[in-house]
Structure 1
Amino acid sequence: MHSTPRPSTQPDTVKRRVVITGIGVLAPGGIGAKNFWSLLSEGRTATRGITFFDPSPFRSRVAAEIDFDPADHGLRPQEIRRMDRAAQFAVVAAREALADSGLDMAEGDPYRTGVCLGSAVGATMGLDQEYRVVSDDGRLELVDHEYAVPHLYNHLVPSSFAVEVAWATGAEGPATVVSTGCTSGLDAVGHATELIREGSADVMIAGATDAPISPITMACFDAIKATTPRHDDPAHASRPFDGTRNGFVLGEGSAVFVLEELESARRRGAHIYAEIAGFGSRCNAFHMTGLRPDGLEMAEAIRIALDEARLAPEAIDYVNAHGSGTKQNDRHETAAFKLSLGEHARRTPVSSIKSMVGHSLGAIGSIEIAACALAMEYGVVPPTANLHTPDPECDLDYVPLTARERQLDSVLSVGSGFGGFQSAIVLSRPERSPR
């Protein structure tokens, strides 16, 4: 006996389009999306000498720190005790994004609302601090676990970040943490978008968070000379695409978005910042930290994102570069843009906000998506700060020093991470989409 198949209750995945309706940001020099955008549009830098610990033993002594008091942002003492700094960032950013979206979680189906967060290094600061406690500042070879914070396990597993955001927002759908190094923030948004497209969720609270400014992180990057030793001029230490660049500035932060299916967002009258039109990711399978000079893998990720968005390269009005400020990365990206966008690459403004807010590892991809969405909102291309002496090998329009007004209908943001990860995402105005 054969039963008649039940009709699917899920919407047609072909027609499901995903948009950003809420933005929350914690970034160096700008807590909250409004303050963050003010910093970027004015071309101000938030890099400074490290204050979280004594940096004198280290080669690189600068960072982009956030002046953040969790109590000032509504976190209760128990939440502060339980959560690592990166988790605190994510919860505060998620609450801002929800408020910005106007979405009433009590009216929706919690099982159709999910969480997807990216993080490269998880609870680094919490683990570092707790190790110092249980080892008596490194004096004990056999640590005493009785001195550890009761919630130490939450610091060990990055999945706790998604749990905290789900608890804070009432989301009971899919909950995931994506950890793909410095592309985590792009990849988490890409994954969340696919969950809505395929019908597994209607709303996703998605983004990324990292708080890596600790001795162990500085020591790791010192060892491979990836961070800048320009500690005598912290405000101008991050110099993407500049001929005098000599490494990136470590940062911290979080950006979280409310992602919704387009027609649902329109029905409730939500403000739509942009559509997630396309996403692509590749791995170069080449070297843990090295990059091929031809930029082929990043160019391929860009091609995939453009194909998914059904856009020609000529439709891109602005490129938000990874722009870390290392010699090889900036040359690699320049080659990738030329390869993927062709001659249009020379007519397209490109900039790196890492010149202002540093490189917050897994969080930066989402922070850069926020910058792109706000750039579209205000019709302004943020500048590349500290770009005074262009590298002849980086010969595109990298928008030096000063923001530029420009109508932006489709923008591209890219990321590059240790391990060979290469990701690209395209944001468009829904009314401009060829779909």
Structure 2
Amino acid sequence: MSTPNLCPHPRPHRPGWEAAGTATHGRQRHEHEHEYKYEKDGGHRRRCRRARRDGQPRVLTLLTEGRTATRRISFFDPAQFRSQTAAECDFDPAAAGLDAQEIHRNDRFIQFALAAAAEAVADSGLDLPAGAPDGGYGVGVSLGSAVGATTRLEDEYVVVSNSGRDWLVDPAYASSFLYHALVPSSLAGEVARRFGAHGPAAVVSTGCTSGIDAIGRGHHLIQDGAADVVIAGATDAPISPISIACFDAIRATSARNDDPERASRPFDATRDGFVMGEGAAVLVLEEWEHARHRGAHVYCEITGYASRSNAYHMTGLRPDGAEMAEAITTALRQARTPATAVSYVNAHGSGTRQNDRHETAAFKRSLGSHAYQVPVSSIKSMVGHSLGAIGAIECAACALAIEHSVVPPTANWENRDPECDLDYVPKTARDQRIDVALSVGSGFGGFQSAILLERPGVTR
């Protein structure tokens, strides 16, 4: 699917999904946004084809129909694990346009990002690298990932350790591309190389807020005049034995293995943890005048972004939601947007018991009585939790929601939790004009982030 252009007081372009890609442009140096992602399409493990606008309505349909992509893990035999469910992508890097060298040297998470970025850039109408502003120095890259090359590391360990039976069989068994594949900075480097982006480039790794933070950083690059265009988003491919084992150990993932399609149940009283996902979303952010001059389609404006740390616990959350509320309040203040103007909240909504209580408290604390009036939903109920990638995927979903005036549902919400008492848009999407969308994220390590996306040209 292609994604919209966003403006930080910017305005966005068309959305795209696959290994997701998006583009953005903003206000005070507005940005537009485009995006693309390879994500389970909300139903079976189908692939939204690359760089085509017909992917956008397909993904939108999947999200608005409330279908789920969570199934029993097929990448490996999960029988020995507590959690045996995930939302896997059916991804063919060659079909997505990657060349043989890009496939060989890069882990799956970078392949996702390359495919997503290609669709986002194509959908934005920018001619990169040939027509890059300022000879490419006006194009930046800001991408996020929580866990990087997890699957490649596991595969290489099997080779050099004789499947774990020996400490090191022979160092020569290591791939010549191993260092490149494992270093997180390769993510930004590969995307910059592909599109001739000579401007600022960096990889953000703040756990599950990496996607929001990478887009927020891109927003700031444009506001500060450091770039006219930023390829921004996030990617992760964490569905591997070691990742599943890590989250099993802390009981963070769902054990509803007999009902995988309904295992991800954000805000539901019977929720028992999140369901792992994978994918990417890339947005093309563009300075507003730069986008306007070339007649770019704008999906939304990025008007505010803030991040906070709870300085409390690596995995625990304060019950009162104070730090998330502070991030939301700061983003609203930055955007000069009153809390009562928020028309949709895309929640982190992971489906863990503590997160959903914490988040509900944060919305009440930051939005006041308006928290009871605004629809709140979690698309993780449909596409799972792809760790660092999900924040970017959710921004893309917000851009589409604004463009098409529809609120995605929380697919598996059935049982009311007295501590989660807001309007969570259960099961069915809702037709509604959205002028201001708030998307939030919460990450292990205490990270809390919030970003505001607004309908282009709305005046209050």
**TM-score, normalised relative to structure 1:** 0.95
Aligned letter for 1:81?
Answer: H
Does 2:129 match 1:79? Answer: no
What SS class does the counterpart of residue 89 from structure 1 fall into?
helix
- Mark the CA change 1:87 to 1:15 in structure 2 (over 3 Å): closer, same or farther: closer
In structure 2, the residue matched to 1:51 is 74
Q: Is residue 116–residue 207 contact of structure 1 (8 Å, CA) maintained in 2?
A: yes
Q: Give the deviation of 1:39 after TM superposition.
A: 1.3
Residue 239 (structure 1) aligned with residue 256 (structure 2): no
When residues 142 and 355 of structure 1 are mapped into structure 2, their CA distance, relative to the original with a 3 A threshold, is same
Match of 1:27 in 2: 39
**Could you report, residue by residue, the CA deviation over 1:7-43 in whole angstroms, capped at 9, with x for unpaired residues?**
xxxxxxx973332332111112253552332211111
Q: Is the 8 A contact 1:21 1:270 kept in 2?
A: no
Larger Rg: 1
- One-letter amino acid of the counterpart of residue 50, structure 1: I
> Does the residue aligned with 1:162 lie in a helix, a strand or coil?
helix
CA distance in 2: counterparts of 1:196 and 1:186, whole angstroms: 16
Report if aligned partners of 2:32, 2:287 keep a CA contact under 8 Å in 1.
no
Tell me the residue number matched to 1:218. 244
What letter corresponds to residue 59 of structure 1 in structure 2? Answer: R
Q: CA RMSD in A?
A: 1.2
Q: Does 2:298 correspond to 1:275? A: no
Counterpart for residue 451 of structure 2? 425
Aligned counterpart, 1:256: 282
In the alignment, does 2:412 pair up with 1:386? yes
Specify the code of the residue in structure 2 equivalent to 1:284. Answer: N
Of 188, 197, 203, the match for 1:171:
197
Q: Is the 8 A contact 2:31 2:222 kept in 1?
A: no
What's 1:139 paired with?
A: 165
Deviations 1:280-300 (A, max 9, x none): 110000001000110000000
Deviations 1:57-103 (A, max 9, x none): 11101001000111111112221111100000000000000011001
Q: Any idea what the Cα deviations from partners look like across 1:292-346, whole Å, max 9, x if unmatched?
A: 1100000000001000110000110000000000000000000000000001110
Give 2:344's aligned residue: 318
Measured against aligned partners, the alpha-carbon deviations of 1:336-378 in whole angstroms (never above 9, x if no partner) come to 0000000111000000000000000000000000000000010
Within the alignment, does 1:104 sit opposite 2:127 as a pair?
A: yes
Q: Is 1:332–2:358 an aligned residue pair?
A: yes
The alpha-carbon distance between structure 1 residues 401 and 15, as it changes in their structure 2 partners (threshold 3 A), is closer
In the other structure, the counterpart of 2:227 is 201
Q: In the alignment, is the contact (CA less than 8 A) between 2:299 and 2:456 conserved in 1?
A: no
Structure 1 segments unaligned to the other structure (5+ residues): 1-13
**Does the CA contact (< 8 Å) of 1:21 and 1:265 recur in 2?**
no
User: How many residues in Structure 1 have an aligned counterpart in Structure 2?
Assistant: 421
Q: Is the 8 A contact 1:17 1:275 kept in 2?
A: no
Matches within 5 A, 1:54-69: 54-69=77-92
Q: Which range moves more in the overlay, 68-77 or 398-407?
A: 68-77
Q: Does structure 1 conserve the Cα–Cα contact (< 8 Å) formed by 2:442 and 2:448?
A: yes
Q: Deviation at 1:393? A: 1.1
1:289 equivalent to 2:315? Answer yes
* Whole-angstrom CA distance in 2 between matches of 1:274 and 1:26: 21
Task: State the shift of 1:132 in Å.
Answer: 1.0
- Contact 2:27–2:303 (Cα < 8 Å) also in 1: no
Provide structure 2 residue ranges, at least 5 long, that are not aligned to the other structure: 1-25, 42-46, 50-54
Q: Give the aligned partner of residue 18 of structure 2.
A: none
Q: Distance in 1 between matches of 2:351 and 2:170?
A: 41
CA distance change for structure 1 residues 230 and 315 in 2, over 3 Å: closer, same or farther? same
Q: CA deviation at 1:168?
A: 1.4
**Could you tell me whether the CA contact under 8 Å between 2:39 and 2:279 is conserved in 1?**
yes
Contact 1:193 / 1:276 at 8 angstroms: preserved in 2? yes
- What is the Cα deviation at residue 167 of structure 1? 1.2
- Equivalent-residue separation in structure 1 for 2:188 and 2:261 (angstroms): 33
CA distance in 2, matches of 1:403, 1:326: 23
